[in-house]
Amino acid sequence: MRLELRILAAVGVLVLLILAYVEYVSLPGSSPNSITSFSAWKYTVPGTANAVALTPDGTYLAAGTESGRLSGSIYLFQGKGGSASAGTGHLLWRHDTQTAILSVAISRNGSLIAAAGSQIVGLGGFYSNEMLYALSRDGVVLWNSSVTSPVWAMLVSPDGSRLVVREEDSVVCFGAQSGSIIWQQKVGGSSSVTLSMNDNATVLAVGGSGRAYLLSMTDGHPLWSHSVLSGYSVGPEAISGDGAYVAVGAVKTGTDGSVYLLDGRTGYLLWTHHVNSDVLSASVSHDGSRIAFGTNDWIIFYDRAGTQLWNDTDANAKVLIVPERPASASLSPQSSESVAINESKTTTATTMDTASTGVFAGLWTNIPPSVMLIDGLTGRPVWSASVGTVHSIDIGSEAGLAAVAAGPAEASPSSGGTIYMFSLNKGLG
C-alpha cells in the first residue's frame, strides 16, 4: 500500500513548461553530449529527500525529508545563497519531526512554510499518526495539527492566508496562521492525489470518485462537477492560471486511462482521448494553449484543440506546467507554486513567446538520465543529467531556477538524499 501510494502521488516525473533564461555551465558526471545546465548547488540530507517547494523569485527553498520510518526534517534554504564555486546551498534552519515528511509548500514571499508528515509502521509500511506543520520564515513553529490520512498534495494561497490539503477522501482548508479549519469538502478517493488553484486563488480543481470538481476557495462548495466513465478514478487535475480550462486524467486499470480538457467555468467537456496507460498527472499552461499529461509510459503534449503535438517515452510521469513568460514581460513578482500545484502568473503582457518554452522533467527511475529539459515545440531533449531517483521538483518562475529532491527510493539511516538547485537553459526553440 505504501509503495502504491508513493508511485501514484509523489513519484515519477514532474514536468514544468518554462521560459528559461539563466546562464549555466555543465554538471559534472552527466552526459557530456546532452547536458547544458548545471547544479548551482546541492545539499546532502540524511535518508530520502521527498519534497521541495521554491518561491518564484528563487529566494527561498523549502524541503522535506524522511530520515527513518518515524522521523524526518523540514528544511529552509536560501535558494540563491549557494554559489557555483562553493557548490552547496545556504541552510537557514532545520526542524526535526517525529514523522517522515511527505510534502511541503511555501508562501509566495517565503513567510510561511507548511509540511505534512506521517509515521510509517508495520511490515507493510502503513501510514499512521499523520501531522501538519506550519512554520515561520525564522523556523518558529506556528502550529501543528493531526490529520486523518497522509497528505501528498498541499498548497498555500498566494497571500499566505490559507493552507489547503488533500486528505484521503476530502479537501481541507486551514487558516495558515492559526491552523483553524475554515472548511472541509468530501470528494471521494483518488489513485493520484493532487490539487490545483487558479492565479487569484478563487477556485480549486480536484478529482475524486468518478468526478472532477471545481471548488470555491471561499467555502469549499462545488461550483460544478463532471462525471467520467463508470469505475474510473478521477485525478490528477490542473487548472489554467486564468481559470478557463481544467485538465483531468482518469484511470480504471494500469492500461486503461483517459485524459480530458474541461471548460473551467462550466465543467463542459471540450475533448477527451484514451491513452492506454495509467494517468499519473496533468497540467495546463496559464492561457490553456498547452496541456501536458504524464502516464506510466510517456509524457503527452497537446494543444487547446486536443491535437497531440508530441509525446516522450519517459515513464512514470508527473507533470506541472508553468506558464510561458512573454518575450516582452518584465521580471515582475509572480505567485509561487508548490509541488503539483500551479499558482504562477504572467502579469505584464498578453502575447506569449512560445518559441522560448521548454519542459523540465524529473524522473522516478534509477536509469539515467533522471532530470532533463525538453524543447516544448519539438519534444526533443535539450539537456539531461543523472541525479538518482527524483522524488520532487519545483521551479522559481521569476529566477529561472529549478529545485530537485533526489536520492534513494526508500529511506534508511545510512542512505543519503540530495537537494539540488539547477539553473535552466537559455534560448529554447
Quick: pLDDT tens for 227-273. 987 778 887 889 998 999 999 998 887 678 899 999 999 999 999 99
The Cβ-side half-sphere exposure at 338, using a 13 Å CA radius, reads: 32
The predicted-structure confidence for 107-126, as pLDDT tens digits, reads as follows: 989 999 999 999 887 766 77
* Predicted pLDDT at 85: 45
Q: Is the pLDDT of residue 348 over 70?
A: no
Is residue 230 a contact partner of residue 272, using CB atoms and an 8 Å limit? no
Residue type, 226: H
* Predicted pLDDT at 112: 95
Q: H/E/C letters for each residue in 15-77?
A: EEEECCCCCCCCCCCCCCCCCCCEEEEEEEEECEEEEEEECCCCCEEEEEEEEECCEEEEEEE
The DSSP secondary-structure symbol of 326 reads P
CATH topology of domain 2-423: Methylamine Dehydrogenase; Chain H (2.130.10)
Q: Is the pLDDT of residue 286 over 50?
A: yes
CB atoms within 10 A of CB 397: 27
Q: Is 3 helix (H, G, I), strand (E, B) or coil?
A: helix
The Cβ-side half-sphere exposure at 157, using a 13 Å CA radius, reads: 19
Q: Is the pLDDT of residue 44 over 60?
A: yes
CA 106/CA 62 separation, integer angstroms: 7
pLDDT confidence tier of residue 54, bands split at 50, 70 and 90: very high
Residue type, 53: A
The predicted-structure confidence for 127-175, as pLDDT tens digits, reads as follows: 778 999 999 999 999 999 988 888 888 999 988 899 999 988 899 999 9
pLDDT confidence tier of residue 77, bands split at 50, 70 and 90: very high
CA 15/CA 52 separation, integer angstroms: 14
CB atoms within 10 A of CB 137: 16
